Amino acid sequence: MMPLLTQNNDLRPHRIWNWSIPALSAILADGTRLRTCPSAGICASVCYARNGTYLFSNVLAAHTRNLQLVIDDHLAWREMMITELHQTRFTRPAPPRLLPISYDLIADDWLRHWCETGTPAIRIHDAGDFFADWYLDDWLYIARQTPAIMFYAYTKEIEMLQTASDIPANFRWLASTGGTQDHLIDDTVRHADVFPDEQTLTDAGYSSQDASDLLAVLWPTTRIGIPANNIKHFNRRIAGRTFSQMQTELDERRAQHD
C-alpha cells in the first residue's frame, strides 16, 4: 500500500506532511461526481490546486485514489491513517523547531510545547476540503488517536467547523476566504486571506505565513495573509484584489440579480 501522506518541496523542510483529494470536484469509480469543496466561491477561478502539477495525470490519479479510499470504506481508511501515523517517521524524536518567529510570540501553550518537541504536522487538504460532516468527524477521531501530532487545515466549511464538537487541542483550523461562507468571517475567527503581494498584506494589518506555512496557526493573531502565487493568468483575474474582496464583489453582483 502506498503511503497516504506525502510531502512536497515547500512543506518538507518544515516537517509538514499533507493529505490531498481533488480540488473542487471529482468523478468516482461508479461515475458519480462528488463536490469536494462544497462552499467554494470565487476561489474556484483562481485555485492553485487546479493548476500546474496538480493537473498532471499521476497527481490527479493519486488524489482521486485518496478520495475513493474514503468513500469506499471511511472507517477502514481511518484505521489505515492511524496505523501510518504510528510509523517511525512520525514518532521518532526530533529537535525543537527552528521558526521564523520567537517561541515567546506563541501564546498557545499546546502549540508552544508541540514546537519544542519537534513532532510532525499534518496539513489536511493541500487540495480539497471537508465535504461532509462524517468526513470531518473521521479527521477529528484520527487526531485524538495521535495526540502528539499537530493537524491543521484551511477550510471554507466554516459553519461545519464552528459547530463541530470535541475538537482536540492538536487539531487547528482557519477559515479560508473566497468562499460562499465568507459572511461568517470576522476578526474573532482565525482566517487567511490571499493578497496580491506582501506589501498589500502588511498594509492591511495581516501577518504573512510565507516563511513557513506553520505560521498560519502559530502567529498570535486571527489575521493571516497569504501572498498570491505568481501564476500569470491568475494574477490577471485577481487584478490587485484580495480573495475576500473578489468574493464580496461576486456576492454583490448575484444579489443584484436576485
Tens-place pLDDT, residues 117-142: 999 999 999 999 999 999 999 999 99
Tens-place pLDDT, residues 138-180: 999 999 999 999 999 999 999 999 999 999 999 999 999 999 9
In a domain, 5, yes or no: no
Residue 85: enclosing H or E segment and its boundaries? helix 74-85
DSSP 40: B
With CA atoms as reference, report the closest residue to 66 among 153, 149, 124. 124
Cα distance between residue 35 and residue 131, in whole Å: 7
Looking at residue 6, the DSSP 8-state letter turns out to be B
* Residue 2 domain flag: no
69 neighbors 1 (Cβ within 8 angstroms): no
pLDDT score, position 229: 82
Spell out the residues 6+ positions from residue 12 whose beta carbon is closer than 8 angstroms to its own.
none
Whole-angstrom distance, CA of residue 236 vs CA of residue 239: 5
Determine, yes or no, domain membership for 181: yes
Number of CB atoms found within 10 A of residue 61's CB: 11
Range of the domain at 176: 12-257
Residue 186 lies in a domain: yes
pTM of the predicted protein model: 0.95
pLDDT greater than 90 at residue 213: yes
Q: Which three cell numbers stand for residue 199?
A: 506589501
Domain assignment present for 55: yes
Measured distance CA(105)–CA(112) in Å, rounded: 9
Handedness of CA 178, 180, 186, 192 (dihedral sign): negative
Give domain status of residue 7, yes or no. Answer: no
Secondary structure (3-state) at 51: coil
Confidence of residue 231 (pLDDT cuts 50, 70, 90): confident
Per-residue pLDDT at 55: 74
d(Cα 151, Cα 37) in Å, to the nearest integer?
A: 19
Identify each DSSP E strand in the chain by its residue range. Answer: 16-19, 25-27, 33-35, 121-124, 150-155, 171-176, 191-195, 207-208, 223-227
* Amino acid letter, 236: R
Mean pLDDT of 198-214: 96
What mean pLDDT is predicted for residues 35-56? 86
Whether 109 is covered by a domain: the verdict is yes
The answer to whether residue 4 is domain-embedded is no
Residue 1 has what pLDDT? 66
Can you tell me the distance from the alpha carbon of 11 to that of 77, in angstroms, rounded to the nearest whole number? 23
Across all residues in the chain, what is the average pLDDT?
A: 94
How many domains is the chain built from? 1
